[in-house]
Amino acid sequence: MGGRGELRFIGEVESVGDISTIRINPEFCPGLLGVEGFSHLILVYWMHLRDDEENRRELQVTPRRHEGALLTGVFACRSPSRPNPIALTVVKLESVDGCSLRVSGLDALEGSPIVDIKPYSPRGDAVPDARTPEWADHGPPT
């Protein structure tokens, strides 16, 4: 097993489209037991195309695709440029076939390493009275 602070990728985005395929490495496949009982999953993935010194040093950005956004710290937005290029997305689980998950709603790129998968729980993950700055109300949902 890995040492303290060691990140191990559990799989990879194999294909992207209306229905995307996530391939889980065989040694982690037993961890999928019971996942088919959930309609949605939270995928944590590594933004591999931003894993360079320039992007990992970026601490303030003007969020693109959000009209009216001002200079913002990377911890206050979803910029792919950040000290650790980790992202998460909620996807709909369409099917499970062995070590492959077919999902819809994925915003990762083909080849993105998967860090973790967690079941989405409306009771624990939805926050109906959450507050966001006005600029975050404009643009895409992520």
Angle (CA) 48-98-116 rounded to 5° is 35
pLDDT of residue 3: 67
Contact 100, 77 (CB under 8 A): no
**How many Å apart are CA 66 and CA 55, to the nearest integer?**
20
Which residue intervals of the chain bear CATH 2.40.30.70?
9-47+85-121
Q: What's the predicted TM-score (pTM) here?
A: 0.88
Gap between the terminal Cα atoms of the chain:
34
Q: Which two tokens stand for residue 96?
A: 């499970």
**How many Å apart are CA 110 and CA 102, to the nearest integer?**
13
Q: Is residue 2 scored above 60 in pLDDT?
A: no
pLDDT tens digit sequence for 20-63:
999 999 999 999 999 999 999 999 999 999 999 999 999 999 88
Instruction: List 116's β-bridge partners, or say none.
Output: 44
Question: In the chain, where does DSSP find H-type helix?
Answer: 53-57, 122-125
Average pLDDT over residues 118-131: 92
Instruction: List 11's β-bridge partners, or say none.
Output: 24, 114
| CA-closest candidate to residue 11, choices 26, 30, 33 | 26
Q: Is residue 10 scored above 60 in pLDDT?
A: yes
* Full DSSP string of 56-69: HH--EE--TTSTT-
Q: What CATH code would you report for 9-47+85-121?
A: 2.40.30.70
